[in-house]
Amino acid sequence: MKVLYFGTYSIGEGYPRNSVIIQGLRENGVEVIECHEDLWRGSKDKIKRVGAIPGLLIILPRLLRTYISLIYRFIRSPDYDIIIVGYTGQFDIFLARILNLFKKKPVILDAFISVYDTIVMDRSLVNPGSIRAKLLWWLDRTACRFADLILLDTSEHINYFVKEFGLPREKFLRLFVGGDEVANEKSYKVQVSSSKGRKDSTFNVLYFGTYIPLHGVEYIIKAAKRLEDEEDICFTLIGTGQLLEETKKLASDLSCKYIKFIDRWVSSTELVSYISKSDVCLGIFGITEKTSRVIPCKVYDCMAFGKAIITADTPAIKELLTDGETVVLVDAGNPETLAESILKLKLDKALSMNIGKRAKELYNERCLPDSISRELVATMREMNYH
C-alpha cells in the first residue's frame, strides 16, 4: 500500500506528530511518499497567523508560492492508494481534495486539534462572537466533512468534534501522539551520562512548554511558593509563550525564591539534559475545557525517560495513564494538591522511581511509532479494500 503524505505539515524538533505517524506507517510495511512544502515556522506560527488578519495578509504571497510548489510536487509524485493530510491539516485538505478529484482515492485528515477551539476558546486570541471565530468554526467543520477519516489524539477530543461540529463518530480514529524511538534511544544515553555526573541533593521539578492557558503555569508558581520551606526543592521553567510575562510577574509578586526561568526555546539536546536531571516533570494544570481533552506531547517525552510525572486529573490522561501507577494526578487549577504531590514524591523515592519505571514500560509498549500507527494501517487497508 502506498500513502501520499501531503501538505504544509509541521516537522522537526517539538513537533513529533507527523514524524511518528510517518515512521509508524513505514514500520508497518506502508510505502510513504512525502509531498511536503514548508509554509509555517511550526504550528505556533500557524496559530499566530490565523488568529490575526494582518498575519494572514502578510503570508498570502508565500502561501500562493507554497501551494504552487505543492501542486508541482503532487503532479510529479507516483500513484498512491490513500492521501493523508498532515497536522495541522485543516488548511491543506481543500487543495488535497481538488488534486484528488480525478483519482478519487480516500483522503485522511490528521486534524489533531480544533483550530477554532485552540484560537478562540482556549487561548482567547479571537472574540467568540466575531466573524473570525465563525470562520474558524467553519474551517474545522468543513475540513472534517471533506475527509473520509479524521485522526485525533484522544477519545475525549473525538467526543468534542462530534458534539461541536455535528460529525458522525465513525469518521474518527484515535491515534495517541507517542514519540520517536531513535530520539528516545539517543535521549536515554544522555540521561545515563547525566545521571552519573549528578552530585547535588537538590530535588528538581521541571516544567517546559509554551505558557498557554491550558498549561496552568500560574498554579505551578503558587505550588512553588507553598513549598518554599523545603529549601532543597527547586523549580525550573523552560520556554516562552503567551503568558510568560504574566507568570514571571506572579513569581515576582509572590517573592518566590526557588524558581529558575529559562525564557527561551532550548535545543532538543539541552532539553534532554534538563529532563535527565529532573526528579519530577510537570504536565498541565489549566482549567480551560481543552485541558480535559488532551495528553500533552511533553507527557510522552517524560514517559520515555522513565520520569515521575504529575499532571491534571482529566478524562483524556486516563485513556493512557493510571493514577499512582504510571502518573500522579492532581486536581486541575489546585496548587495545594500539586504541592502535596511534589512533596510526597520527594519523600518517597521508591514510589517516584516505580511510577517512572512503569511509565517507561507503558511508553515502550504503546507509544512508539509501530504501535501508534498499527490501527491506522489496519483501517487504511480496509478503506482501500472497499
Distance CA 291, CA 285 (A): 7
Residue 88: pLDDT band with limits 50, 70, 90: confident
pTM over cut 0.85:
yes
Q: Are residues 120 and 159 in the same domain?
A: yes
Q: Are residues 11 and 120 in the same domain?
A: yes
Distance CA 244, CA 214 (A): 13
CATH number at residue 147: 3.40.50.2000
Q: Are residues 293 and 157 in the same domain?
A: no
- Residue 348 pairs with which residues in a beta bridge? none
Give the ranges where the chain is alpha helix by DSSP (H): 16-27, 43-50, 53-76, 93-99, 115-116, 131-146, 155-165, 181-196, 217-226, 244-253, 268-277, 297-304, 335-347, 349-366, 369-385
Q: Are residues 28 and 171 in the same domain?
A: yes
Q: Percentage of the chain surpassing pLDDT 90? A: 81
Distance CA 121, CA 292 (A): 13
Name the domain count of the chain: 2
Q: Are residues 104 and 203 in the same domain?
A: no
Tens-digit pLDDT profile for residues 317-361: 999 999 999 999 999 999 999 999 999 999 999 999 999 999 999
Q: Are residues 67 and 207 in the same domain?
A: no
Which domain does 27 fall in, by range? 2-178+368-385
Q: Are residues 192 and 203 in the same domain?
A: yes
**Could you give the C-alpha distances from 290 to 77, 145, 151, in angstroms and in order?**
38, 22, 17
- Residue 173 pairs with which residues in a beta bridge? 151
Q: Are residues 324 and 375 in the same domain?
A: no
**Could you give the C-alpha distances from 213 to 97, 118, 218, in angstroms and in order?**
34, 10, 9
Is the model's pLDDT at 98 over the cut of 50?
yes
Q: Are residues 26 and 9 in the same domain?
A: yes
Q: Locate 84 and state its grid cell.
A: 493523508
Tens-digit pLDDT profile for residues 125-173: 899 999 999 999 999 999 999 999 999 999 999 999 999 999 999 999 9
Q: Are residues 258 and 300 in the same domain?
A: yes
Q: Are residues 212 and 115 in the same domain?
A: no
Distance CA 153, CA 112 (A): 6
Q: Are residues 309 and 206 in the same domain?
A: yes
Tens-digit pLDDT profile for residues 26-36: 999 999 999 99
CB atoms within 10 A of CB 325: 12
The reported pLDDT for the residue numbered 197 is: 47
The reported pLDDT for the residue numbered 349 is: 95
